[in-house]
Structure formats: structure tokens, C-alpha cells
């Protein structure tokens, strides 16, 4: 495959009740269209109850209407049927794509055998509450440090060659009726046909979602950890990148030891130095993350985030262990919500 800077790009934005966001997220994409950086901007209205479709049309986008509400994966699949570009660049309706995005998409997809590319959030998320900043910066942290060659995909700000997307059948919205890890699973299928997926840290977008502990727990456990654990167990096992790397697993083990030391304190109070030691080790083990968080929010912000991060390790690891138990001991191999090859 030779360098092809003339790759045409179709921007695909699934949208549900996103009227209040369009001035921020759609306007930059329309400017890219005006200057010729992209060929078309497709907004797929997923049966919104507000004026998303009308406003997107007024702003100049090509608007498609879902026949029924089907989630972002189904909306992207519909757009792929209509798109005319060589590349499908997926941008979520709560992400502001940065203006140099098309350049990095074309550069990555012009490399030999590369079928898909994804980036990360920028370092200035919209939500300013400490927890919301932690969640968005954590996502950026993993993507910025990821190996360049990936086996998963991220549809928040990622692009795929249109012919490859159609070849592998698009997003699996039958298995994943509730939006969750359909983009990760799509990456597995792209890699399975021998095509490359690369991470481009310079391909960035600003995330406008405001996280709370409550919506984070629901998303992390039921929309990410459970289906992703089941997918990994049924396919290839744990990977060694992003937040499933070997180093992350060791940090999760350390968080478990810290919890056990806390639970035993009422019965063995003289062991408090061990708890302090394990807490200190947790901060040392997560020093790169702590340093990044401190850079963006100060020491107290970093301290709170790393403490909560131990809880994140605990419930994420617990979900994976449960899925192993479910798969091997409960005879659930055909009920895990993943397709068999």
C-alpha cells in the first residue's frame, strides 16, 4: 500500500439528544468540510426527542434518521452504507475533534496495511469536578502511553477504511444491543483478517461528558469490564496494552493487598505500618499517573484520584475473576454475549 494523502474522509457522528452540543462539536467539523479537509459530514440522528436533526441540517451537515433508536453502533452502520469517502472517521457527539485530525487520519491510514487508527482525549476535559477530570485524563493517559500497534479500536475519535469496515461487517449490534464494547470487538475482527490498527496520540478530541462516580461505576462495570472480560476470555485472553497490561495487573494486585491490610486492622491494629507501606507502594507504582494528574490539577487532586484508583482496580479485577468463574465453572461458555468463531 503506497502513501495516499488524497484519501477522502467521511465524518460520521451518531447523535441522540445532542442539540445542546452541536454548536461546539459539529461546527469544527463543518469548518473542515468548508476547507476541503473532509468530503462530507454525516450526522445520524438516533430518534432524538429534541431538535438534533433539524439543527444539524441547519448547520450544513448531511442528516440521516434512524428508523428506530438503535444506539451509536447501529447509527454508524447506517452511515457507512451512505458514506462516499474512502475513510469513515467516527466522532462522538460529545467530542470536539481538533482541526488537525484529518491530517493524522490520512497519515496513519496511508501506511502499509493499516486499516484503522484511533487517538485520545486532549488534556483539558470539559467537566471540572475532580472526578470527571480524573476519568477523562485517565482515558487519555492510557491511550497516550499505548503501544502503537493495537488489536482493539476506539470509536470516540477513530477512523477505519470504509472498504475494511464493510468487509468485516461493521459494528456487531446484535450481540451488543446495549452500547458497550462494540468498537473493541470490531478491532478484534479487523486484526483477525491481518490488517493493522495503530494508535496515533496526536489525533485528539475534547471530551464534553461530565462523569460522576455513579455513572462511572455503571459504565465501567456493566458496559466495559463485564463485556470486555467476557470477550477476552472467549477469544485471546488478557492483552498487554492499555488498561489490561501486565503492569496494570500488578497494580491491581497491590490494590487488593492494600484492601486486605485495611480489613484486618480492626483485628490486628499493630499491623498499621504494613497498611501505610502498601499505600505508599500504591502511590509509587502509580507514580507516572500521579505525576500527570498533579500536572493538571495539583497534588491534592492527584492524591484523591490515586486513592479512588485503587477502588477502580479492585472492582475491575473482581469483574474479570467473576467472568473466569462464570466461563470455566458455571458452564456459561455459550451465554457470555460474544460470538464464536
The full set of domain ranges for the chain reads 9-211, 215-341
Cell digits of residue 120: 485520545
Cell digits of residue 207: 471530551
Backbone angles phi, psi at 209, to 5 degrees: -70, 135
* Percent of the chain topping pLDDT 90: 86
Q: What is the mean pLDDT of residues 9-15?
A: 98
- Check whether 233 has a pLDDT greater than 90: no
Q: What are the tens digits of pLDDT across the range 79-95?
A: 999 999 999 999 999 99
pLDDT at 292: 98
Alpha helices in the chain (DSSP H): 22-34, 52-58, 71-82, 101-109, 130-144, 162-168, 182-192, 213-218, 226-234, 246-264, 272-285, 287-328
In the chain, % helix, strand, coil (3-state, to 5) comes to 55, 15, 30
**Is the pLDDT higher at 127 or at 294?**
294
Q: What are the tens digits of pLDDT across the range 255-284?
A: 999 999 999 999 999 999 999 999 999 999
- Check whether 288 has a pLDDT greater than 50: yes
Backbone angles phi, psi at 288, to 5 degrees: -65, -45
Torsion angle, CA of 288/135/107/112, rounded to 10 degrees?
80
Residue owning grid cell 458496559: 223
Alpha carbon distance 17, 48 (integer Å): 5
Question: Which of the four pLDDT bands, split at 50, 70 and 90, describes residue 238?
Answer: low
The answer regarding whether domain 9-211 maps to CATH 3.90.550.10 reads yes
Alpha carbon distance 126, 13 (integer Å): 19
Question: CA nearest 28: which of 120, 117, 84, 91?
Answer: 91
Alpha carbon distance 192, 218 (integer Å): 30
Residues 6+ apart with CB under 8 A from 113: 1, 194, 195, 196
Q: What is the mean pLDDT of residues 310-321?
A: 95
* Percent of the chain topping pLDDT 70: 93
Cell digits of residue 48: 432524538
HSE of 309 in the Cβ direction (CA atoms, 13 Å)?
27
Amino acid at each position: 500500500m503506497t502513501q495516499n494523502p488524497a484519501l477522502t474522509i467521511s465524518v460520521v457522528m451518531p447523535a441522540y439528544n445532542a442539540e445542546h452540543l452541536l454548536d461546539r462539536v459539529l461546527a469544527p467539523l463543518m469548518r473542515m468540510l468548508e476547507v476541503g479537509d473532509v468530503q462530507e459530514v454525516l450526522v445520524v440522528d438516533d430518534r432524538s426527542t429534541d431538535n438534533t436533526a433539524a439543527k444539524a441540517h441547519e448547520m450544513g451537515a448531511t442528516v440521516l434518521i434512524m428508523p428506530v433508536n438503535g444506539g451509536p453502533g447501529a447509527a454508524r452502520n447506517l452511515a457507512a452504507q451512505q458514506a462516499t469517502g474512502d475513510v469513515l472517521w467516527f466522532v462522538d457527539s460529545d467530542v470536539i475533534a481538533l482541526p488537525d485530525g484529518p491530517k493524522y487520519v490520512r497519515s496513519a491510514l496511508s501506511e502499509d496495511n493499516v486499516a484503522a487508527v484511533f487517538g485520545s482525549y486532549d488534556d483539558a476535559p470539559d467537566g471540572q469536578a475532580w472526578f470527571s477530570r480524573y476519568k477523562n485524563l485517565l482515558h487519555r493517559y492510557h491511550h497516550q502511553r499505548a503501544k502503537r500497534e493495537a488489536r482493539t479500536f476506539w470509536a470516540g475519535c477513530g477512523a477505519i477504511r470504509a472498504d475494511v469496515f464493510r468487509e468485516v461487517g461493521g459494528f456487531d449490534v446484535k450481540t451488543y444491543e446495549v452500547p458497550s464494547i462494540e468498537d473493541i470487538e470490531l478491532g478484534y475482527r479487523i486484526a483477525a483478517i491481518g490488517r493493522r490498527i495503530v494508535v496515533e496520540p496526536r489525533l485528539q478530541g475534547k471530551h464534553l461528558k461530565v462523569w460522576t462516580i455513579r455513572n462511572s461505576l455503571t459504565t465501567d462495570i456493566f458496559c466495559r469490564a463485564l463485556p470486555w472480560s467476557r470477550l477476552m476470555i472467549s477469544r485471546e485472553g488478557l492483552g498487554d496494552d492499555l488498561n489490561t497490561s501486565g503492569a496494570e495487573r500488578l497494580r491491581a494486585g497491590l490494590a487488593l493487598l492494600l484492601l486486605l491490610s485495611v480489613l484486618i486492622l480492626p483485628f490486628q491494629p499493630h499491623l498499621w505500618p504494613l497498611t501505610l507501606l502498601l499505600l505508599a507502594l500504591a502511590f509509587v507504582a502509580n507514580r507516572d499517573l500521579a505525576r500527570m494528574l498533579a500536572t493538571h490539577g495539583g497534588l491534592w487532586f492527584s492524591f484523591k484520584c490515586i486513592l479512588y484508583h485503587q477502588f477502580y482496580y479492585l472492582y475491575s479485577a473482581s469483574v474479570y475473576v467473576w467472568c473466569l468463574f462464570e466461563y470455566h465453572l458455571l458452564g456459561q461458555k455459550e451465554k457470555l454475549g460474544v460470538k464464536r468463531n
